[in-house]
Chains A and B, each alone.
Chain A
Amino acid sequence: MTTQSPAETTPAPSGSVSGPSRFAQKLLTSAQTGRGSLIWVRHGTLAIAAIIVLVIGLSSSSSLRYGLIYSTVYAILILGNNAVQVTLGEINLGSVAFIAFGAYSVMMLANAGVPSGLAVLLGIVLTAIVGFLLAIPTSRLTGLATALVTFALSYSLRDLAIYLSPITGGEAGVFVKGKLEVFGLSGAGADPAMLIITVIAMVIAGVGHIWLLHRRPGRVALTVGEARHAATVFGTPSMWVKLGVWTWSAALGGLAGGIYAYSVGFISATAWTIMFAIFVFVGGLIGGTRSAVGAWVGGILVGGMPIWLQKFVPPTAATLVFGLILVVAILAGGKGIAQFAERYGVRLFLKIRGKR
């Protein structure tokens, strides 16, 4: 298990495991599972992450701000993707379909004159419905089959968008009219207001993720994903739980798509590649699949870093450097950077507490 001080150790009853006190064990298990006692710490770190992103973004150049907005869009998408991965244990490579559907929905609604806030809201609802419908066949699959089906979805998406070019604009793309107006703010592209809106959206999504994972829905979904037979014989409506998780994942994809539509301002079929979906998957692994802040870290790494690296190294070398950074991050992080930080933080806290 983990580092423990004499002060944290209680005698173990016979036939049980020995180890730290109940309080310490709760913290250690919480850091391990991404649930439990550290819930308020997770809310706190999410708030701190939001403040850091805002301070850096609002005090820097528009290109860096745009990078942060784009990374945060990735982070929202990663958060949705992680829900499927963490609770159901499935590999979802179809996240790009959700963001694309959200982006196209919002673009069409906005260009038809629907107020931007309502367009994003409807985009989320429509994408959630699509996610629910797609989940009906998908959630019957497990393991590699899910990965292959969602891979096929992402792989065919670009061609599908080109085929539907009268609606989607194909490779030539379509501009999104106007600005996103919500929370009394109005922004598009790399506007400071756009960053604030994006960060607020990420915080809302992050709080939702934390709440769902820590409360009963998360517990039930984890049981369905990790102890299928137990869930079945204890009357858990496994299929509905799976549909719920996929729908939540799609809704976050729709939210990411809506913000993408206004921040990029232009939607083209060329954006929806299989690499997009793989980056989302990898971002989740690197950041930490159970952590909201981890999704943000993952989003910044996969969304922003490849672009920023090109400022320092040639574009061809940037890919190599980026790949190396990902390998190092995975080797160092284990379950992801955020969860590694949590575990280390808890051990450090217990060590300091034990010395007092």
Chain B
Amino acid sequence: MNATTVPAAAAPEVTLKATGIDMAFGGVKALDGVSIQLSRGRWTGLIGPNGSGKTTLLNVLSGLYRPSAGTIVLEGADVSGARPRTLSRRGVVRTFQHPQFAEGLSIFDNVLLGADLRRRRGLQTVSKRELEDRAVHLLEVFGCWAFAEHVPSEAPYGGRKLAEIARAVLADPVVLLLDEPAAGLSREERAELVDSLKVIRTESPQLAVCLIEHDVRLVAAACETMQALNFGKVIAVGASEDVLANEDVKQAYLGKSAARHQKEGR
């Protein structure tokens, strides 16, 4: 299947560019020549059915997986095959499908991991107090302040997912990779997520974001560009509304006959 490129608005400065990424697990090719471009101040949605390679791509971009082929350039520097530690110190920060928190720490202390990374990155010196104040602010933005002093297992699942985004944003990243932030969230929590992402967008206008999500309406609301994957290949890339209207994308999500029926208005 060839990728359909849909023209998007004038492209801003590219922050991260991955080209021709291959990733195989034994005989299964999870990513096959995938390319993606994340730009400063632009939010890119990564969509596709289960098993299409979205999370694998995020694992490659964050350094958890080393691709068998392809290059990754971050702010002009080749970081292909770099370890997570190197990438995070260069500003690539991510969340997980299932929140990763230490149970022996309160939610607040877990979120401070983002402050640790900010410190390690040697960004403009900010006092411990200021970082803690920022953590409080972000927990409030994401609606997690009420259970910030609880251990993770006592907090609602959706709340933990939101707190994970707060932790990532606290690191003041250059590239933010969000892996299905809305999965498992209640309707109220989804609304909270959408509002919180708007605040983050306003507060961090330079941030390049890659958002993986099954809720395409949420992706369309948050992202101006989208990229669709299927069977480890890019099937469409461009402006959100154009990608959603793409026949290949519809077929990947709905199946061939359903997509045809939808097109015919049946």
> Which chain A residue has the least Cβ–Cβ distance from B114?
A234
CB distance from A220 to the nearest CB of B (A): 7
Are B62 and A33 in contact, with the CB atoms below 8 A? no
Within 8 Å by CB of A235, from B84, B143, B147, B188, lies: B84
B-contacting residues, A125-174, CB 8 Å: none
Secondary structure call for the A interface: helix
Contact A230 B146 (CB under 8 A): no
Among A12, A13, A235, chain B packs the most CB atoms within 10 A around the CB of A235
Residues of chain A contacted by B224 (CB below 8 angstroms): none
Please tell me which stretch of A22-30, A39-47, A61-69, A183-191 contacts chain B, meaning at least 4 of its Cβ atoms lie within 8 angstroms of it: A22-30
Which residues of chain A from 188 to 239 have any CB-CB distance to chain B below 8 Å in the complex? 216, 219-220, 222-223, 225-227, 229-237
Q: Does A316 reach chain B (CB closer than 8 Å)?
A: no
Looking at chain B, what size class is its interface with the partner chain?
A: 35 or more
Q: Indicate if A242 sits at the interface (CB-CB under 8 A).
A: no
Whether the pair B84, A230 counts as a contact (CB closer than 8 A) is no
- When C-beta atoms are compared, the residue in chain A nearest to B146 turns out to be A16
Closest to B106 in A: A29
Assuming the contacts A13-B146, A16-B147, A16-B156, asked whether A35 and B109 have C-beta atoms less than 8 A apart, the reply is: yes
Contact A36 B106 (CB under 8 A): yes
- B81 CB within 8 Å of chain A: no
- Is A15's CB under 8 angstroms from B159's CB? yes
Whether A15 lies near B143 (C-beta < 8 A) is yes
Closest chain B residue to A25 by CB distance?
B149
Structural contact, B106 and A234, CB atoms closer than 8 A = no
Q: Which of A216, A227, A235 contacts B110 (CB 8 A)?
A: A227
Checking B94, B110, B120 against A233 with a beta-carbon cut-off of 8 angstroms, the contacting residue is B94
Docked Cα-Cα span, A15 to B144, in Å, equals 9
Residues of the B chain whose Cβ atoms lie less than 8 Å from the Cβ of A34: 104
Is A352 among interface residues, defined by CB-CB distance under 8 A?
no
Extra contacts, 7 of them, besides A230-B110, A233-B84 (Cβ < 8 A), are: A15-B186, A15-B192, A17-B156, A222-B104, A229-B64, A230-B113, A234-B114
What are 15 of the A-B contact pairs (CB < 8 Å)? A1-B154, A15-B159, A15-B188, A29-B151, A32-B151, A33-B105, A34-B104, A35-B109, A222-B102, A230-B96, A233-B88, A233-B94, A234-B93, A234-B117, A235-B85
- Residues of A bordering B, CB below 8 Å: 1, 12-17, 19, 22, 25-26, 29, 32-36, 86, 216, 219-220, 222-223, 225-227, 229-237, 290
In the A-B complex, the 9 residue pairs with the closest CB atoms: A16-B146, A235-B88, A226-B102, A230-B100, A25-B149, A227-B102, A227-B100, A234-B117, A222-B104
